[in-house]
Structure 1
Amino acid sequence: MRIAVIGGTGLIGSQVVKKLNAAGHEAVPHSQSTGVDVISGQGLDEAVAGAETVVNLTNSPTFDEASAAFFRTSMDNLLAAARRGGVGHFVILSIVGVDQVPELDYYRAKLLQERILAAGPIPYSIVRATQFMEFMDAVLSWTADGDTVRLPATPIQPIAAKDVADAVAEVAAGAPLNGIRRIAGPEVFTLDELGRTTLSHKGDSRTVVTDPTAGMFAAVKGDVLTDRHAHLAPTRYADWLS
């Protein structure tokens, strides 16, 4: 199967391409570095030509209100190119709980992306994943101040990027779901607990202070970023850290 992976050189995309090709498919990565621009539309027709499936793993360069315009324009351009190219399956990666946190601009933008895809002309699949383990360093940096890191006690269910890539590759190689597959890590932590575990493993002496107002995840109410009924990935956080 020929599969065009847009955003195929990034953290998830590069692994998806590798996994699909190892399984015998012809997965081709496309990104700005290969001459494909999802905003201007440059190179899109050529990128999807002959592809049976398109996987869109591009992401907004910002997490603020501008992210909605990115997803609207990129999806409109990609779906139009895919329709012209006769693509039969369109896959995107989204977030578990994306429809439960309207306070966050980025989550509203990702939900918009899902809705544009579902309303479009092409059979589709949406993979919703929980928070990536690889993002923990960034989360710690957002609210770091000297010897202190402030984090809320938001429940999360971290998943390793390689497990996300496995799931995306599996969905891309299959028939369209015309719906959503949810994937999650095997364990639930509170974010402040996870911060302490991470710093301890790295030998970092900073202190994590529980602060319900700190950082982006302070806007999350309850346990909407976890999903015990999702497809559970195998990698545990302690094993990933090691």
Structure 2
Amino acid sequence: MLAVHSWRVFRRNCYLSTRTWWVFLSGLVEPLLLFLSVGVVVGNAVHPDVSDAMPTGDHAYLRFVFSGLLAVGVMNGAIYESTLNFFYRYHHLRSYDVVLTSPLTSRSVVIGEAMTAWLRGILYGAIYGVIGCSFALINLPQFAAMLPWLPLGAFGFAGLGIWLASLMRSWNDLELVNLVMLPMVMLACVFFPLSAYPQLIGDAVRWLPLSMLATCMRGVQDGTMDRLAAAGLAAFALVGMACLWRAVAKADRLLLRS
């Protein structure tokens, strides 16, 4: 019954997303603007041989940045849905006060919210993949090869976001999430390769969740998959599952409080 009830929460959220489609599209704006400003404008000033880790050929830096921003889109979709939207629904709208008078349980609500965040992360990544195909930055086989990695990254961020939302007590706590996400976008392997860092800093940046997802996307794009990053991304998905389990464990205290 838990799976059935979670599916109903997930289906409800999907229906509401079709009624508030502008909220869904708003999360696509930031990476798209970064792609057009940094990738297109700044990319014209970047020499293609600036690093051995850069791809070669026409629009080399644009293709390099694209795979990183695709990873940013996955992170944004999953994190914003699991933190901002979930917190808004249960803390401000109190949407689940009525829902929980039905046979639905608080645990099914949390799992349904995680499923919604997971799907949004995947959809954002898929939409950016379509944009990349339209710009001829990737081809269809590369796009198809990227798709299996999107659920791993989205699930890790969704589980982490649900757990963070369960710890929030006010809107000010959401600023702490942005305080972590923005530096991670700038420091992870999105705009420059890992080899640009000193060895010690590079070893730390390598294990950022966004770096691992961006490295996997770039590996599919270039045909040079980093097995260490792939294993790290799988481990991050397990971390997301553990975070989700912690959030589910405290679901009653979170949603049934007076």
Tell me if TM exceeds 0.5. no
- The answer to which structure has the higher strand fraction is 1
TM-score, scaled to structure 1: 0.28
The structure showing larger relative contact order (alpha-carbon pairs under 8 Å, at least 6 residues apart) is 2
